[in-house]
Chains A and B, each alone.
Chain A
């Protein structure tokens, strides 16, 4: 199996890989790999993310898939708000109106609400993971969280460094040290956001919480998906009015895609949670 085809198989949702991953890899080894095979796998992965099919243990897997997918979409899309705020308000663009500021304010409120709901939903899962690990003495499911913790600490340290390092004579001519430290922090931050999205989802998949534990997080995931859609929509409206430029367009595109994925997945989770057993 080539590296590209292995990457393509790994792009499937964790729940799909748990059920079909080994078979899929065996089939790719049997049939051989080509660019067409890789494309076919990537399209299959996209389909699996957007319309997951969960045969065995279906209800539990459906709820788990919704929770992990919405969490990852949230981590991919929440930075739309600070990015658009930075573009439009720091420094304030002349084209930004009072309405735009209100829209950005609303996006900020939804951002905070989304984080509160996401963390509330994570609590029962974190508790289940810790209890299970402690009882069984098997801490391996929690391993994906360790690198995230390390990168998080490094990011915090770099943020402090950014605040303490002398900036230079003027904002237009920052010191070389400030630029280096800021870039290092930015790279670390992006890595942290990526790991923050992936590591908890991986951990939940390994812990395999039962349907009862997943029900409340799945319902809260729907609220998080709505917050994500709201932050993206309000930021988009402000950006269209004020003109955020190509970088803003790129950021908003990520936000829109993340919102769509989150809404579709959350809707399926709510349907499962609400349907009779």
Chain B
């Protein structure tokens, strides 16, 4: 499970993983640390690999050769496109939400 002490959950583990891979390949532990540092969400190992296996099945990430048991993952071209579309949609949603909130009397 993705743990965060918010009242409203806001990010799917797959999206968090893709976001973490946006700046380059990472193995599982690096993804967990990066996600924790950036958004304060801790991905459990079961949650991480459930999402990673789905992303790999859909061709959005690929596994790279790695040392011993820690294989880095990388976004594919299709993964970059999907992430871009998702983040653009989220940006529009966030902009609209913030604009609407400004009109609400405090």
A residues near B (Cβ < 8 Å) are: 8, 16, 19-20, 22-28, 30-31, 36-37, 39-45, 47-48, 53-56, 58
Residue of B3, B53, B54, B57 most packed against chain A (CB within 10 A):
B53
Distance in angstroms between the alpha carbons of A275 and B46 in the assembled complex: 30
Interface size for chain B: under 10, 10 to 19, 20 to 34, or 35 or more residues? 20 to 34
From A22, A28, A53, give the contact of B45 (CB < 8 A): A28
Distance in angstroms between the alpha carbons of A53 and B27 in the assembled complex: 19
From B28, B29, B56, B70, give the contact of A55 (CB < 8 A): B56
Residue in chain B with minimal CB distance to A22 = B69
List, in ascending order, chain A residues with CB within 8 A of B45's CB: 24, 27-28, 31, 37, 40-41, 44
Apart from A40-B45, A55-B63: 19 A-B pairs, beta carbons within 8 A = A8-B46, A16-B53, A23-B27, A24-B49, A25-B69, A26-B69, A27-B32, A30-B28, A30-B29, A36-B3, A37-B46, A39-B1, A43-B1, A43-B47, A44-B45, A44-B47, A45-B46, A48-B50, A53-B50
Q: Assess A53 versus B53: contact at CB under 8 Å? Given A41-B44, A43-B46, A44-B47.
A: yes
Provide the main secondary structure of the chain B interface: helix
List, in ascending order, chain B residues with CB within 8 A of A27's CB: 28-29, 32, 45, 48-49
Q: Assess A53 versus B56: contact at CB under 8 Å? Given A30-B29, A31-B29, A40-B1.
A: yes
Contact present for A47 and B70 (CB under 8 Å): no
Q: Assess A40 versus B29: contact at CB under 8 Å? Given A26-B68, A26-B69, A58-B57.
A: no
Report B14-30 CB contacts with A as 1/0, cut-off 8 Å: 00000000000001110
Contact present for B69 and A44 (CB under 8 Å): no
Residue in chain A with minimal CB distance to B44 = A40
List, in ascending order, chain A residues with CB within 8 A of B70's CB: 23, 26
Residue in chain A with minimal CB distance to B53 = A53
- Top 8 nearest A-B pairs by Cβ distance? A44-B46, A40-B44, A55-B56, A53-B53, A26-B69, A22-B69, A40-B46, A30-B29
Nearest CB on A from B68, distance (A): 7
Residue of A23, A55, A56 most packed against chain B (CB within 10 A):
A23
Q: How many A-B residue pairs have CB under 8 A?
A: 77
Q: List 26 A-B residue pairs with CB atoms under 8 Å apart, sorted by A's residue number.
A: A16-B53, A19-B53, A23-B27, A23-B71, A24-B28, A24-B49, A26-B28, A26-B70, A27-B29, A27-B32, A28-B45, A30-B28, A36-B44, A40-B45, A41-B44, A43-B46, A44-B45, A44-B47, A45-B46, A53-B54, A53-B56, A54-B53, A54-B57, A55-B57, A55-B63, A56-B56
Nearest CB on A from B76, distance (A): 11
List, in ascending order, chain B residues with CB within 8 A of A16's CB: 53
Contact present for B69 and A20 (CB under 8 Å): no
List, in ascending order, chain A residues with CB within 8 A of B56's CB: 53, 55-56
List, in ascending order, chain A residues with CB within 8 A of B27's CB: 23
Q: Which of B1-43 contact A (CB under 8 A)?
A: 1, 3, 27-29, 32
List, in ascending order, chain B residues with CB within 8 A of A24's CB: 28, 45, 49
List, in ascending order, chain A residues with CB within 8 A of B52's CB: 20
Residue of B32, B46, B69 most packed against chain A (CB within 10 A):
B46
Nearest CB on B from A59, distance (A): 12
Residue of A28, A39, A55 most packed against chain B (CB within 10 A):
A55
Distance in angstroms between the alpha carbons of A16 and B46 in the assembled complex: 12
Distance in angstroms between the alpha carbons of A25 and B71 in the assembled complex: 12
Nearest CB on A from B20, distance (A): 14
Q: Which of B44-81 contact A (CB under 8 A)?
A: 44-50, 52-54, 56-57, 63, 68-71
